[in-house]
């Protein structure tokens, strides 16, 4: 290490410092640390030096040997470097789940990325009417597009679908009764529970029917003077099968209309186009519920839609204008970056031109098994080498998930690199976990899963760019 001997060190140092550790300033004067400070900032390096000295003092107090100055400098350098590493690192998703909430959900189209970059760099007409030079409304950026794509009269956008549900409940149902089937008291990952949201929105929850069966007469009997809304929540992350009954949108919309109240549908995922054109199961469209008479329908921007995190609310002019006027709308509104990404994503749908190639979510969901298998074959040797000799590698058919509650029962035919512990290591959970963790410790972490006592890397979500990164760090 490049340790300078400074005047005033030695004797006087040991007197002022009973633990015989060098001072912060003395360590900061070291050439290597000074160079690092020039690169990443003196404050970070200083904090790392202070942490290093504190750790050393603790270790000495526990009876450990005093570290040398070179050791202290090395440790401070490492700590300082660690502080420059993002806590939101890019990862390579080999879980097979396309809309993975824990890994950031939808990847954006190139159009959306370019639009966000441009919105970050310069001013834009977020709430400015270019024609008149007067004030505009940020919903104007996307309202026409959304209406055209869903057939709605009006639309607005908030931070996410949970916010959309909350805002609609507050604006349309606060202090009134809100009717919902017992079969739809949903909980979505991340502590979004319908009864809790209703309470937060100050709505009085009126549950009707039973867990497996709810009939029109259940809703009819529940409607009182105090009713304001009938709510339907899409069962996005579970299925009710067997002896079941639920009431359709058309009947509920008609009932609400007759009673002079609103009918609201929380779709959750909500695709804008019929997914069956790519061989995927059909997810309900907002236009389905609207054409059957729903007053308000909400869905996520970053699930099947393939855009940024957002909650899109569509519906009748009467319902949407009440929602827009509520003060909470201001608190839940989206940023210009989200609007930029959402507008560009919606324009892809509006063009109806190569949608499945331009939107990564649709591209990955519609990827055929033979294409995924070919990717598995290209990366399998690298993955096997990194896992080491304790594993046998094979490429096998598997099924991937859409994710984020969309089409919960559906699995997509896929292929994976499967690493199975050799017979002498079988039933060794620790080995599986340790090896999976070693993939997460790579410079760009690789995320797989454990299934049936094997490590499974499903290559559905492996983009050409990610494959290149994988190659660079594993070869
Ligand atoms: C996912 C989902 C939500 C929440 O959407 P976010 O955009 O994640 O806030 C609400 N309702 C349903 C039915 C969902 O599936």
Could you tell me if 27 and 119 lie in one domain? no
- Please report the pLDDT score of residue 407 as a whole number: 66
Which of the 8 DSSP states describes residue 284? P
Domain contains 23: yes
Residue 408 domain flag: yes
Residues 148 and 193 in one domain: yes
Is 196 a residue whose pLDDT tops 70?
A: yes
Average pLDDT, the chain: 93
Residue 96's domain comprises 92-101+363-474
Q: Are residues 142 and 215 in the same domain?
A: yes
Pick the range with the lowest mean pLDDT from 234-243, 275-284, 292-301: 234-243
Task: Give every CB contact of residue 460 below 8 A, 6+ residues apart in sequence.
Answer: 96, 98, 364, 367, 372, 400, 412, 414
Q: Which of 300, 311, 407 to mutate to test the pocket of ligand 1 (most atoms within 8 A of CB)?
A: 300
The structure's pTM equals 0.91
For residue 1, is it within any domain?
no
Asked if residue 160 has its Cβ within 6 Å of ligand 1, the reply is: yes
269 lines ligand 1 (CB under 6 A): yes
Q: For residue 126, how far is its CA from the centre of ligand 1 (angstroms)?
A: 26
**115, 196: one domain:** yes
Residue 14 has pLDDT above 90, yes or no: no
Q: Which atom of ligand 1 lies at the shortest distance from residue 165's CA?
A: 10
- 311 in contact with ligand 1, CB cutoff 6 A: yes
What are the distances in angstroms from CA 450 to CA 97, 276, 409, 416? Answer: 13, 30, 20, 12
Same structural domain, 19 and 46: yes
Identify whether 301 is part of a domain. yes
> Is residue 89 within 8 Å of 445, Cβ to Cβ?
yes
Whether 4 is in a domain gets the answer: no
Q: Tell me what the mean pLDDT of segment 293-298 comes to.
A: 98
Give the number of other Cβ atoms within 10 Å of residue 16's Cβ. 8
Residue 380 lies in a domain: yes
- At 363 the pLDDT is 97
pLDDT tens for 41-90 read 999 999 999 999 999 999 999 999 999 999 999 999 999 999 999 999 99
Q: Taking residues 184-209, what's their average pLDDT?
A: 89
Span from the CA of 443 to the centroid of ligand 1 (angstroms)? 32
* Per-residue pLDDT tens over the stretch 329-350: 999 999 999 999 999 999 999 9
Q: How sure is the predictor about 236, in pLDDT bands with cuts at 50, 70 and 90?
A: confident
Q: Is 155 in the pocket of ligand 1 (CB under 6 A)?
A: no
- pLDDT over 70 (residue 9): no
Q: Please, which residues have CB within 8 angstroms of residue 167's CB and are 6 or more apart in sequence?
A: 158, 313, 323, 326, 328, 329, 332
pLDDT of residue 158: 98
From 304, 331, 358, the end of a domain falls on 358
What per-residue confidence (pLDDT) applies to 19? 64
Atom 1 of ligand 1: nearest residue by CA position? 268
pLDDT of res. 424 = 83
> Which positions ≥6 away from 176 have C-beta within 8 Å?
203, 204, 226, 227, 228, 229
Task: Name the residue at shortest CA distance from atom 6 of ligand 1.
Answer: 161
CA of 167 to the centre of ligand 1 (A): 13
Looking at the predicted structure, is the pLDDT value of residue 7 above 50?
no
Q: 162-173: per-residue pLDDT in tens?
A: 999 999 999 999
Decide: residue 452, CB within 10 A, 0-12 exposed, 13-18 middle, 19+ buried: exposed
Domain tally for the chain?
3
393 and 340 in a common domain: no
CA 317, CA 314: separation in Å to the nearest integer?
A: 9
Largest CA distance in the chain: 93
Rg of the chain in Å (alpha carbons): 29
CATH number at 215 reads 3.40.640.10
Asked if residue 399 and residue 319 are part of one domain, the reply reads: no
CA of 203 to the centre of ligand 1 (A): 19
192 CA distance to ligand 1 middle (Å): 8
CATH number at residue 433: 3.90.1150.180
With the most atoms of ligand 1 within 8 angstroms of its CB, the residue from 185, 187, 201, 268 to mutate is 268
The secondary structure element, H or E, covering residue 419 is strand 411-421
Quick check: 39 pLDDT over 70? yes
pLDDT at 4: 45
Query: Per-residue pLDDT averaged across 289-295, rounded?
Result: 98
pLDDT of residue 300: 96
pLDDT band of residue 289 (cuts 50, 70, 90) is: very high
- Is the per-residue pLDDT at 216 higher than 60? yes
Residues 131 and 168 in one domain: yes
What does the pLDDT look like over 357-391, one tens digit per residue? 999 999 999 999 999 999 999 999 999 999 999 99
* Whole-angstrom distance, CA of residue 394 vs CA of residue 402: 24
Contacts of 272 (CB under 8 A, 6+ apart): 149, 150, 285, 286, 305, 346, 349
Residues 187 and 70 in one domain: no
For residues 440 and 464, state if they share a domain.
yes
3: in domain = no
Task: Tell me the per-residue pLDDT of 399-450, one tens digit each, with 9 for 90 and over.
Answer: 998 887 666 667 899 999 999 999 887 778 899 999 999 999 999 999 999 9
Mean pLDDT of 92-119: 97
Q: Which of 331, 358, 385 is the last residue of a domain?
A: 358
Residue that is last in its domain, among 302, 333, 358:
358
Are both 419 and 436 inside the same structural domain? yes
> Quick check: CB of 268 below 6 Å from ligand 1?
yes
Cβ–Cβ under 8 Å, residues 196 and 248: no
129 lies in the same domain as 174: yes
Residue 6 within a domain:
no
């Amino acid at each position: 290490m490049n340790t300078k001997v400074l005047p005033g060190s030695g004797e006087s140092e040991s007197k002022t410092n009973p633990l015989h550790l060098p001072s912060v300033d003395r360590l900061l004067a070291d050439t290597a640390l000074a160079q690092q400070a020039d690169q990443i900032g003196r404050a970070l390096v200083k904090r790392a030096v202070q942490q290093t000295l504190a750790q050393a003092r603790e270790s000495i107090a526990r009876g450990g040997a005093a570290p040398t100055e070179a050791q202290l400098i090395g440790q401070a350098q490492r700590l300082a470097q660690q502080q420059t590493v993002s806590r939101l690192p890019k990862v390579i998703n080999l879980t097979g789940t396309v809309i993975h909430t824990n890994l950031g959900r939808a990847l954006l189209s190139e159009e959306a990325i370019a639009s966000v970059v441009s919105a970050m760099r310069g001013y834009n007409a977020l709430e400015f009417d270019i024609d008149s030079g007067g004030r505009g409304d940020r919903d104007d950026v996307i309202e026409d597009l959304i209406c055209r794509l869903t057939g709605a009269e009006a639309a607005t956008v908030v931070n996410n679908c949970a916010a959309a549900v909350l805002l609609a409940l507050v604006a349309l149902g606060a202090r009134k009764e809100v009717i919902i089937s017992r079969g739809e008291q949903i909980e979505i990952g991340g502590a979004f529970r319908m009864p809790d949201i209703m309470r937060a929105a100050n709505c009085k929850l009126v549950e009707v029917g039973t867990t497996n069966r709810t009939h029109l007469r259940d809703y009819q009997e529940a409607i009182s003077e105090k009713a304001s809304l009938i709510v339907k929540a899409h069962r996005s992350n579970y299925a009710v099968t067997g002896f079941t009954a639920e009431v359709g949108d058309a009947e509920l919309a008609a009932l609400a209309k007759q009673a002079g109240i609103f009918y609201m549908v929380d779709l959750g995922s909500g695709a804008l186009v019929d997914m069956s054109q790519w061989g995927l199961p059909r997810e309900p469209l907002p236009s389905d519920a609207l054409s059957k008479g729903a007053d308000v329908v909400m869905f996520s921007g970053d699930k099947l839609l393939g855009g940024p995190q957002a909650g899109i609310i569509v519906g009748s002019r009467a319902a949407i204008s009440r929602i827009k006027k509520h003060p909470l709308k201001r608190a839940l509104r989206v940023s210009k970056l989200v609007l930029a990404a959402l507008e560009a994503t919606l324009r892809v749908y509006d063009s109806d031109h190569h949608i499945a190639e331009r939107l990564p979510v649709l591209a990955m969901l519609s990827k055929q098994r033979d294409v995924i298998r070919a990717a598995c074959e290209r990366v399998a040797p690298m993955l096997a080498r990194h896992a080491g000799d304790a594993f046998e590698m094979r490429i096998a058919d598997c099924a991937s998930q859409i994710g984020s509650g969309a089409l919960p029962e559906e699995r997509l035919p896929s292929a994976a690199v499967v690493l199975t512990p050799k017979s002498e290591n079988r039933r060794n959970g620790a080995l599986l976990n340790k090896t999976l963790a070693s993939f997460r410790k790579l410079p760009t972490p690789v995320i797989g899963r454990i299934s049936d006592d094997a490590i499974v890397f499903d290559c559905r979500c492996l983009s050409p760019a990610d494959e290149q990164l994988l190659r660079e760090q594993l070869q």
